[in-house]
Structure 1
Amino acid sequence: MFRPSLEFVQRITEATAEARHEILARVLGDLPAELSGCVATPHRTLIFRGLCSPDQIFHRRTDGNISWSTDPRDLLDTRFGLTDLDRETLWRSCRGEDAFLYPGLGPLLRPGQFVTLGPRSTHTGTYDRATPLDLPRHTPLRAYARLTYELLLEETRRCTGLGRVGILLSGGVDSATVLAALTDHGVDVTAYHMGTDDPSADESAYVRQVCRHLDVPLVTIDRVTDDEDYFPTTRDLPHPFNHVWLRTLERLADRIAADGIRFVVSGLEGDTLFGPLRYGLHDILAADVPPYEKWRMLRGLLGTRWELSRLLRSARPAYSLYADPEALAETELGSDFLVPHPDAAPEPYDLDYEPQENTLNLALWRPRGIHLGKPLGGRSLRCLAARLPDAYRLIPHAGRTIDKPVLRLAAAHRLPPDVWRHYGRTWLGSPDETWCLRHPDALDRVLGAPDARLTALGVVDPHRLGEVLADPRALRRNAENLLCSAMVELFLRDLEARCRPVSTADDRR
């Protein structure tokens, strides 16, 4: 818990009021990297976002007045209507993309940025950044792995004085590695897992193996499968949570709160910091890695499923095997029921701000008194990831492509081999596809209603929707985006009913 001294409050208030930006950058640099906040003076407002903070404080200037809030709904104009929302952004949200829906708010702050807002002036600056670690040239893979676990131990040390801690344990290597670091500190930790009775998506065997190995108690919350319980019971959401797990996460948060746990950690950030954002032949050829490792990677690349022509094209720096037309076609989920947007660009990944995560914090965790931490996203690990060669984010081996090799090796000495080697053997979307196959009428009640907002806004095509709901093969292919679209539709109904004047905007969260 950060408790600023009176001297600190005076310094930051005076620097804000006088628009002394260099002093502000130095003062903000003394704050915890997980902290975001706002300082309001009579003539100027400061908004800042820590390097490791998922929180975004939105702002809006209207007739010389400045409004700010963590909830973007507070900043909507009294004349706001659903037709003010951008149709392509809604379309992207229905496809499960983490797109920010609201127009006219911002600019959004990147991690480590601040903005000062005066009566007629705006200044944006940077006070913190993830500077790449200074490591020797050709640092080998195993050295990165050892350093990763050492830095993770530093990040998790702060949990030692928090009493009983919870962890969201998925069965993957990210959360399992965090759990191993917690147990190395002797933290009193309980693992929580979202279970399923669908064998295609069941990762509980890995979870049980980890908990037995580390001697950690396990609580399993079953995935919601009933018609009437699939969608959340309370939907006071500041942004669409266009995902399939909200109701199960709601039950999970209720259980954690009932157990008296107030601090929970997860393996979030493992994919973005240690996984492949892009990959190709160029990333191996130009990599700052030992020559013998580079040669092994080149040989392994020839044994993967990628065609030789694509491999050769990936020798260009701008070409990625994960972003070429073939890759996009392989991973694209069905959205046959949506009005097509043929000119839309591929999904733009914004790793600096994720509305889904922010929505869960504001609507799910914090109202129950729970803080969700992300040790893998700590400052030191971000600096390590900034130094990590792209060639070490994925390793081609024996015809397979192994993601997050650094994180897997970091945990190899603390986890059972079946866990840190676990890769690509589950079908996590199977339970949701099965639910859609069994309950097309429930989807029709939400998306096919006569007053459906997405239909009125020209996002959902009712004729296409009817065809998809009547065809089991199409239902399975479109299942995830049908559920995402249903969540967006329910959000739009609530937003339409709950819009408030901008004059009431205030940050009470």
Structure 2
Amino acid sequence: MHSFLTFSHCSGIHQWEETLTLTQGTLTFAGTLFSVCQQETCLAHFLAGQYQEACTLLKGDYVGCFVSSHVVVFWKTQTSNRTLFYRRDGALVRWSTTPTDLIDSLDDFTRTGLHACCWGENAWIYQQLHWTPAGYAVVLTPERETVFPLQQPSLQKSQFPRRSLQQWAEEAFSRLCQAVHPLVACQKTIGVLLSGGIDSSALAAALVYQGASVIGYHFAHKQNAANERSFAQAVCTTLNIPFRWIPASIGPDYLLGYLSQTWIMPHPYGHGGYRWFEQIADLMRQDRVTIAVTGRYADTAFGPLERYSIADILSAPLPWKERWNMLLHSLSTNWELPDLFRSFLHSDSLINSASFSRSDHVLDQPKHRADFLSALPNRSFLTYSPFATERSLDFSPQDLATEELWHHYGIEIFHPYSYEPIQEFAAQLPYAYRFFPFQGQKITKPVLRLAFAHLLPPEVLRRVRCLWLNVPGQTLCLNEHLLLAKLLGSDDAWVVRLGFVNQERLRQVLTDPSRLRANSQTLIATAMVELFLRQHSISSLLQ
């Protein structure tokens, strides 16, 4: 029997005083506990000073806080979407899962971080705050601060010296079903954010196979170059589950709709999908869906990583027949022979960081064009290693905005590909089975595709994703250039007053359709920063 309990928020304040003599403590949580029957045992461990045992006792996707007269302990499970932020001011400790709760003055924000957000970077803007990393605990006492890891899964290499693609696929199917089982056991309807790609499609199939009640949700673009609706609908038809979709808005409400809300974004969001997530969340609330899953983290679990070479095929524990076929099919691709020969060494890769979308990078040059923005004073600021990447499974500054959005609508989001059964599997999966040359094509995630070939429609399995997903944002900027001019180019715009936007260069961009398209991503990111500043009325930044 599984119990399933969700807590929406965690915050508090504590001050150490010499006269305080309490011996008991309190526990608070934010996120989801898969088992709630051991809270008293957990509290007993904390009171005995057994912090590691206490933090690992309760399973789930959550952050926790224990407070007593002499210690404050924060911890975050490896797969939690929530993050606990805290700050120390002398003997005073404050914490919250919403960083804006802890802001006092201009010193708590960094202008460089806000400027970087205009460039579309995943930059941190709260320089006075600390946070609890995923899979770690932080112990605060009046004298010191200690950080220690929680128990991590043992990611050991495969015990199979030679394992076929089919065997890997069968294991992948079992692992994904195992990963979603705690969600199925809650016996609630589960919403799947269904793009129509293999990641979310396989997730929906695993949930249906386990007997869950599932609804597929999709935002469809009017532009054919970005429209994936037919794939998502085919998945729902094949799995016999309801298909709910909304036309993704690119009208004036895309930006100005946020100003009428009673809630406040805790961080600027620099991507084009924020309004679409809001539309999906509203639809889920109408359907009384409170649990949703995404295909996030499947890229690094099943897809190619930072390299792929012939040496990976030669050194992997593959059956010899499959190894030979992969070598032959590599000749049918558009890889040139000199590159293939050089890749006999592990040091020479046939792919690079530009070949696939990656979020864990350090940039020397801006990744988006921004003809209207002033240059960033310090590019080394954009080192993201402390933040969320597909590898670290930690938090993303920009994702704080979407997490707050889901919570506002009463929805808890889960990413099953980050769960232990999948991560253990990913640690064993050879590079050679993450990327598969076949009949002139380069097939990504072949193991995941084969694992669910018996449940998903052929068009999804054969699909080689190549869509222009930036087209909706470009269309928005073309249609709403007057709104952007008013929002970003007026004398009282925060991004102008802070020196981020050059008004004359902005005017030149907004009157040239080709430059509008080229600058669309940074125009949207800068608009979101402007809205963030308006919502929080951070006038002190100008001083």
Compute the RMSD of aligned alpha carbons. 3.1
C-alpha offsets along residues 441-480 of structure 1, whole Å, 9 cap, x if unaligned? 1112222121233333343333332222121111111212
* Residues 164/343 of structure 1: CA separation in 2 closer, same or farther (3 Å cut): closer
Which shows bigger deviation, 455-464 or 305-314?
305-314
Q: What TM-score does the superposition give when structure 1 sets the normalisation length? A: 0.86
Structure 1 counterpart SS, 2:425? helix
CA offset at residue 227 of structure 1? 1.9
Q: Structure 1 residues 339 and 390 mapped into 2: Cα distance closer, same or farther (>3 Å)?
A: farther
Matched with 2:123 is 99
- Cα gap change, 1:439/1:367 in structure 2, threshold over 3 Å: closer, same or farther? closer
User: Alpha carbons of 1:180 and 1:454: their partners in 2 closer, same or farther (altered >3 Å)?
Assistant: same
Matched residue type, 2:283: R
AA aligned opposite 1:77: D
| 2:215 alignment partner, one of 164, 176, 190 | 190
Does the 8 A contact of 1:51 with 1:130 survive in 2?
A: no
Structure 2 alignment gaps of length 5 or more: 5-32, 358-362
| Identity of matched residues, % | 32
- 1:306/1:96 CA distance change after superposition, 3 Å: farther
1:150 aligned to which of 169, 174, 177: 174
Give the Cα–Cα distance (whole angstroms) in 1 for the partners of residues 55 and 348 of structure 2.
36
Give the CA deviation at 1:421.
1.9
SS where residue 146 of structure 2 aligns? strand
Report deviation, 1:64.
2.6
Alignment correspondent of 1:245: 273
| Equivalence for 1:277 | 305
Give the match for residue 249 of structure 2. Answer: 224
What is the aligned counterpart of 1:115 among 129, 138, 150? 138
Aligned mates of 1:431, 1:330 — CA distance in 2? 25
What's the CA shift for 1:143?
A: 2.2
2:57 maps to 1:30: yes
Aligned partners of 1:263 and 1:110: how far apart in 2? 24
Pairing 1:495-506 to 2, within 5 Å after superposition? 495-497=536-538
Asked if 1:177 corresponds to 2:202, the answer is yes
Aligned length: 488
Conserved in 2, the CA contact under 8 Å of 1:130 and 1:379?
Answer: yes
Asked if the contact 2:43–2:54 (Cα under 8 Å) also holds between the matched residues in 1, the reply is no
Whether the 8 Å contact between 2:42 and 2:55 is mirrored in structure 1 is no
Kindly indicate whether residue 353 of structure 2 is the aligned counterpart of residue 323 of structure 1.
Answer: yes
Relative to the length of structure 2, the TM-score reads: 0.81
Deviation by residue 1:176-229 (Cα, 9 ceiling, x = unmatched): 111111111222222111112221111111111111111111111111122244
Would you say 1:388 and 2:429 are equivalent positions? Answer: yes
Of 64, 68, 87, the residue aligned with 1:41 is: 68
Q: Distance in 2 between matches of 1:495 and 1:192?
A: 32
Asked whether 1:141 is paired with 2:165, we answer yes
Determine the C-alpha separation between the residues in 2 that align with 1:110 and 1:495.
Answer: 26
Unmatched 5+ residue regions in structure 1? 500-509
Aligned to 2:515: 474
Residues 477 and 295 of structure 1, relative CA distance in 2, 3 Å threshold: farther
- Partner of 2:474 in structure 1? 433
* 1:110 counterpart letter in structure 2: P
Shift of the alpha carbon at 1:437? 1.2
SS in 2 for 1:30: coil
Correspondence for 2:408 among 364, 367, 370: 367
Partner residue, 1:11: 44
Bigger mean CA deviation after superposition, 142-151 or 316-325 = 316-325
1:436 & 1:184 partners in 2: Cα distance? 42
Q: Indicate if the aligned counterparts of 1:29 and 1:127 stay in contact, CA closer than 8 A.
A: yes
Match of 2:152 in 1: 129
Higher relative contact order (Cα pairs below 8 Å, separated by 6+ residues): 1
Match of 2:375 in 1: 340
Deviations 1:127-167 (A, max 9, x none): 13243255223433332221111111122223144232222
Identify the match of residue 264 of structure 2 among 212, 223, 236. Answer: 236
* Residue 377 (structure 1) aligned with residue 423 (structure 2): no
- Residue in 2 that maps onto 1:505: none
Give the partner amino acid of 1:260: R
Q: Which of 411, 414, 419 matches 2:452?
A: 411
Per-residue CA deviations over 1:104-135 (Å, capped at 9, x if unaligned) read: 322x4332111101112111111132432552
